[in-house]
A and B are shown apart, each in its own frame.
Chain A
Amino acid sequence: MIRRATLAFITGLQFSVLQFCFLAILQINVSSAYLTYMTVAFAWMVGSVIGMWVKRLTSWMGVVLGTLAFYFVHILLTFFPFSYLALIVSAVGISVAAIWAGRFFVVMRSRFESPDKMFFHENNGFLLGIILFFVGFTTLGSSFIIFAPGVGGISLLYLNRLEFQENSL
């Protein structure tokens, strides 16, 4: 149970860090206009909804896809800054990254005895992620944006592996 709670918590943290990292790189490399914020929030929700109805997406694939989508958008904006076309492509990348944010709850639903606990732990992780992003970005700058989603992704793969092993025993 603790392992599952940790997995939900770290997943929430990763979702939060990913969202804010997307927002930061778009605000720095495209524009701080409200359109940027709307794009990130809306694209994330679209991805989450799609993710809920996608079948056959394993946790491994979901996490890797999300992390790779982030780095794709990061590289795209580095080479094509201040372009609204890049913003549109980034929106697609954000939606792809958010697919696991929807699928995660479907996959985890049966592993938690009740959904309240799943949402509770995931939300706590999200909350900590907001604070972690703010402290991390203001103190480490670009390094945080470059490394945090990757570290989060690797941690999630490890936790998912443990969870999978436990279930298969």
Chain B
Amino acid sequence: MDAALEPRQTINSFKNGILIFLVGFCLSVTQFVMVRDFVTIIYGEEVAIILVTAAFFSGLSIGYLFSLRFSQRFFKVFALVLGFLHLTFPFSYRYLAAWTDALGDEQGFVLLLLLFVYALIFSSLFAAFLPRLISYDNEWSPELRLKIFYTLELLGFCAGFAAVGWSMNKPVSAILLLYWPVLGAVLFLATGKRYWTIGYFVVGLIVGFYLDDLDKASSAYLYEKKHGKHGAKVLYSVNSPYQKVEVIEDYKNEKYLYLDGLLNLNEGDLKYLNFYIARIPAELTRPNNALIIGNGTLSSAPVVYPFSKRLTSVELDPGVLAAGKRFFTSQDKLAPLKNWSLFVDDGKHFLWTQTEFYDLIIMDIPSPLTIQEAVLHTREFYSLAKERLTENGVLAVQLSGPLQKNNRTPARVTAALAEVFDEVMVIKSSKADRSFAYASQKLPFKKEDMKNLTKGFEPRLKIISPDRVHRYLKRAVPLSINELDLVLRRGWERFTDRYFDYD
């Protein structure tokens, strides 16, 4: 091991200060890019988010472990090689991930290996700087060096955080085009290699020029290989503050909305979904005041509106809203809705902070695969919703699958509803491939009303009346803040089924 930088190589502490600030910036950006992109690749359940985050931090650990074991010469080569590899983001790992799909039984292990190798590329280099600077810079005492350099790294991290904030609702290329020059500066300051740095910038310029195309082409390839979407085209791909939002079109020109790599909905399913989650409860209740929570595509607003005197939509994610307005619900459908208002807010925060009462609340949100989503399916949340409902007000919920006599998602969500509301009616739709629940203190419609309204659309629809719902719930543990094990269990099950099921 080369014990220390030579004094001449150290140059000066001012330069090192700038270097570590920029390293902090890079760490912040790479953490964001890696977590978003790899979560999308391996599909965005909470389990996947934790796995990718853990991989990123293990990359940091490796960086710390070897930071003082590298000679200065080796460290420079290592930094340059990794720097050039960063110019292959995001397309290199997407193509490699798509390639793993052809590996059959080995896919899971190779994908995990890919994840951890890329974690090294993403984060290990940046972890190596701080211990090296604390150990080798000669100007101050070791304690002062730690204070100054670590402070600067944290400030750089904050600056990176601001850059990530700026890149919200933009394609990944936006943040990468900002990040690459900063990384170039890091490489120059760390290695002093002028020609290699110029080479890095030249390659960066060329790749940057084609980055949008490479981004879309590699995403499309991934959706074609991993999701089986033949002729996939990426119409829209942005990093929202919460997730990666993508609209994919297949060879039949059908559009699909993906959130963190998980299929949220497709155009074809919207018709069935909106019929049961929006039109049926709206037509049966004819609400004076209705509220839709979720439904970022806004497609259910024009469905509910004709039956409601006033309608409000609340959606948390502006990225999904933008995709919805552009690809799923055209402006000419929304423009005539004069008594409709849209709020960008968290559903539970909205319910708590406003004072209105609703005759109908529609919960059109994704399945409980992350903690955030699961909280909106808990009895605590349903209690909050109940407080904002009128006496005969109805809460409509899609159950993410058909209700069965077990302890799986639909039964657990229904059990949470049944704990809060006196009456819960459930329908099982083959067309929508899932069940829907309608909960109230006193449902303003009967099983016969439901039957009459749906028989033209789905004659064989199964309707479970409130007095029979409890038969399905004997084994179901209601979802609550204290019982979110479903997120772990279901996420793990889906992850292992996808990558490690050899049957």
A78 within 8 Å of B (CB atoms): no
Report the bound CA distance from A158 to B485 in whole Å: 31
Given A42-B161, A45-B157, A141-B481: A114 in contact with B50 (beta carbons within 8 A): no
Q: Determine whether A166 belongs to the interface, using a CB cutoff of 8 Å to chain B.
A: no
- Whole-angstrom CA separation of A31 from B352 in the bound complex: 10
Please tell me if A30 contacts chain B, counting CB pairs below 8 Å. Answer: yes
Given contacts A120-B65, A130-B50, contact A135 B488 (CB under 8 A): yes
- Whether A32 lies near B316 (C-beta < 8 A) is yes
- CB-CB contacts below 8 Å: A118-169 with B: 119-120, 123-124, 126-127, 130-131, 134-135, 137-143
A142 to B259, CA, bound (A): 28
Cβ of A5 < 8 Å from any Cβ of B?
no
Cβ of B67 within 8 Å of any chain A Cβ, yes or no, is yes
Interface assignment of B118: CB less than 8 Å from any CB of chain A: no
Interface: B134 (CB within 8 A): yes
Using Cβ atoms and an 8 Å threshold, which residues of chain A touch B352?
81-82
Residues of A contacting B161 in the complex (Cβ-Cβ under 8 angstroms)? 38, 41-42
- Kindly list chain A residues whose C-beta atoms are within 8 Å of the C-beta of B67: 116
* Chain B residues, CB < 8 A from A116: 64-65, 67-68, 131, 135
User: What would 5 more interface pairs be, CB under 8 Å, given A115-B131, A123-B60?
Assistant: A27-B375, A37-B241, A45-B154, A45-B158, A109-B143
A115-B135 Cα distance, complex, nearest whole Å:
7
- Are A119's CB and B64's CB within 8 A? yes
| CB-nearest residue of chain A to B142 | A109
Segment at the interface with B among A48-56, A60-68, A69-77, A89-97? A48-56
Cβ of A113 to closest chain B Cβ, rounded Å: 10
Distance between A131 CB and nearest chain B CB, rounded to angstroms: 6
CB nearest to A23 among chain B residues: B371
Task: Give bound CA distance, A43 to B494, whole Å.
Answer: 35
**Tally of contact residues, B, Cβ under 8 A:** 51
Q: Which residues of B contact A105 (CB under 8 A)?
A: 146, 150
**Given A27-B375, A28-B375, also A127-B482 (CB < 8 A):** no
B61 lies within 8 A of A123 (CB): yes
Find B150's partner among A52, A131, A134 (CB 8 Å cutoff): A52
* B135/A32 in contact, CB under 8 A: no
Distance, CA A106 to CA B481, complexed state (A): 38
Number of chain A residues whose Cβ lies closer than 8 Å to a Cβ of chain B:
45
Is there an interface contact between A106 and B135, defined as CB atoms closer than 8 Å?
no
Residues of chain B within 8 A of A53, CB atoms compared: 147, 151
Cross-chain pair count, CB within 8 angstroms: 124
Task: Verify B349–A30 contact, CB threshold 8 A.
Answer: yes
Q: Is the CB of B371 within 8 A of A138?
A: yes
Residues in A with CB closer than 8 Å to B57 are 123, 126-127, 130
- Minimum CB distance partner of B489 in chain A: A138
Q: Is B250 engaged at the interface, CB distance under 8 Å to the other chain? A: no
**Cα distance A120–B375 when bound, in Å?**
34
The 4 A-B pairs at the shortest CB distance, nearest first, are namely A141-B482, A34-B241, A116-B131, A120-B64
Bound: A28/B380 CA distance, A: 10
Distance A123 CA – B57 CA, assembled complex (angstroms):
7
Chain A nearest CB: distance from B75 CB in Å? 13
CB proximity to A under 8 Å, residues B148-191? 150-151, 154-155, 157-158, 161, 165, 168
Distance to closest chain A CB from B43 (angstroms): 17
CA distance A123 to B486 in the complex (A): 29
- Whether A141 and B50, one on each chain, are in contact in the complex, defined by CB atoms closer than 8 angstroms, is no
Which among B61, B127, B375 has the highest number of chain A CB atoms within 10 Å? B61
Nearest A residue to B147, CB-CB? A52
* CA of A32 to CA of B243, assembled, Å: 13
Q: How far is the CA of A116 from the CA of B136 in the complex (A)?
A: 12
